[in-house]
Structure 1
Amino acid sequence: MFPTRIEIIPSTGIVDQVRALVPLTTTLTMTCLPHHGIERTMRTSVELSALGYTVIPHLAARSIHDRAELTRIMRECDAAGIGEVFVIGGDRKQPAGPYGSALPVLEDIAQYTGGRMRAGVAGYPEGHPTVAALDLLDALQDKQHLATHVVTQMCFDAPKILDFAALLRREGVDLPVWAGVAGSVPRTKLVALATQIGVGSSLKFLSRKGPLARKLLSGDRYSPHPLVAGLESQPGIAGIHLYSFNNLDAVPNEAGLASSPTALQPALIRGAAREQ
């Protein structure tokens, strides 16, 4: 079975929900949304790490106010035993401080930690709505010496993910690729939470992305099992990054992913890494 990580949104009450429903052997990644900010991401990550979970905080460059704040974050991670972060540009329109993209954050993290902190970066199998494909590739090439892996934006097409991984290899980007996959989610749940978690503007984009995405929005419950089956045992794919709406009570037997020390059957959907 694929190694699987589940993405969590640091909403109110999520720590108790995770503790009740998610095995300690599951790796969690913690989003950093503009309306939440990095403080909530870090507070929730530290609390879950103290309970025994392996947690990977998302650090959105545009939400970091200054280099001193980044230093404090690295100290919090060290104290909590957090050894990996996921660095993105973030959705914030105007940077809160000196960081406008992921690269300078990665550079400072490497300097502050002496290269000990592992860091994931974002990839886009279907492109980015505001960044040219060549610029995205250039950015990954610039960041790869500071990163340990790539996490793709949510995608519903296994061949596109595999083509993206192959493209990276051809262009000299040798980082392992974690495939961003949406878990099982009903249309009503997606619409109800779209504004809350910042995907309302993505619904029209999703509706143009083929039969699986149209099924996601049609009222049926989408299952990622066929997509995961199409990715399993394929070269260049290190594991599954499962996007979540925090609806963890829908976990058992819905995603087609077995619970184990490296794999969980999580649920639902969220694309957190929209900016390079």
Structure 2
Amino acid sequence: MGADALRALLTRVRYEVLPAKAAEEKVLAHVPRDVVVTVTASPVKGLEPTLLLTERLAAHGYRVVPHVPARLLRDDTHLKDVAERLRAARVDDVFLPAGDADPPAGPYHAALPVLRALTDLGRPFAEMGITGYPESHPLIHDDITIQSMWDKRAHATYIVSNLCFDARVLGDWISRIRRRDITLPVYVGVAGPVQRAKLLSMATKIGVGESTRFLTRHPSWFLRFAAPGGYAPERLLGRGAQAFAGPAAAVAGLHLFTFNQIAETERWRRAALDRLGG
């Protein structure tokens, strides 16, 4: 990827964090206020830890994007209460996946009904994100996931691609959704400079957050971190240069899965920008 294009992506990042112990402290210590922070949600612990961390970080001046999985919402009243609570914290952007809670806490089994309900509430959030699946969803056919994005386009304002380590797969997926006239901007989901030992520890000890659960469904990915010259975010971005940089791709920025290795992620990003003269 050209230096200018890569530098632009590295200045338009979102850091996904888990609402775990010390997460607030790590964000305050290492994340600049101009970096967007997204907060995952756990099907085991529910929305409360996500909402609490969102409120605390927003009070510190961060732009925070809470994950509000459809399957964690108990009913329409719960959705309205969550929306009002987030608006009181001056949150104007939410990420709305279906979530993994099984069974669901209420009537919402997928994100689309929640998006419609928020539209009926007067669209309390300026931005509403949905999930994209560059690699096959474990339970849903690829064509259905793309059709789902098409159905959501009247309500959502952007797409976040789920975690992927293959630049070719990412590029092919972006081309496919654009051919289907899905024009929403995409934040490309990329793992930060994650150390395998810490990632295994995080997955074992916490076991929460969509990013961790998604990764544990793909155990071979752990090997990519251990292999000689294994995973490096810049190498993935470089291999995806043509797919990510072209205007037709409409890539808005990077969604970096930190797995709460927040200091390491920001140190990597800052070093990359320094090397690029940014």
Q: TM-score, normalised by structure 2?
A: 0.85
Residue 25 (structure 1) shift: 1.2
Q: Looking at secondary structure, tell me which structure has more helix per residue.
A: 2
Instruction: Report the CA distance shift for 1:52/1:93 in structure 2 as closer, same or farther (over 3 A).
Output: same
Partner SS state of residue 146, structure 1? coil
Residue 115 (structure 1) shift: 6.2
Match for residue 197 of structure 1?
207
Residue 164 (structure 1) aligned to one of 157, 163, 173? 173
Partner SS state of residue 41, structure 1? helix
> In structure 1, how many angstroms separate the alpha carbons of the residues matched to 2:213 and 2:98?
19
Residue 253 (structure 1) shift: 4.0
- C-alpha distance after superposition, 1:69-96 (max 9, x if no partner): 1101111121111111000110111110
In the alignment of these two chains, the number of paired residues is 255
Match for residue 31 of structure 2?
22
Instruction: Report the CA distance shift for 1:111/1:117 in structure 2 as closer, same or farther (over 3 A).
Output: farther
CA contact (8 A) 1:186 1:222 kept: no
* Residue 268 of structure 2 corresponds to residue 258 of structure 1: no
- C-alpha distance after superposition, 1:191-248 (max 9, x if no partner): 11223234468446241x6xxx633144866320111233452333211000011122
Residue 116 (structure 1) shift: 4.5
AA of the residue aligned to 1:50: A
- C-alpha distance after superposition, 1:131-187 (max 9, x if no partner): 011211111111111100110110111221121111111112111111100011121
**What is the Cα-based RMSD across aligned positions, in Å?**
2.1
* Residue 13 of structure 2 corresponds to residue 4 of structure 1: yes
Structure 1 alignment gaps of length 5 or more? 260-276
Question: For 1:19-168, what aligned pairs fall within 5 Å after superposition?
Answer: 19-114=28-123, 116-168=125-177
Partner SS state of residue 154, structure 1? coil
Structure 2 alignment gaps of length 5 or more? 1-7
- C-alpha distance after superposition, 1:19-55 (max 9, x if no partner): 1111111100110121231111111101111110000
> In structure 2, how many angstroms separate the alpha carbons of the residues matched to 1:59 and 1:238?
21
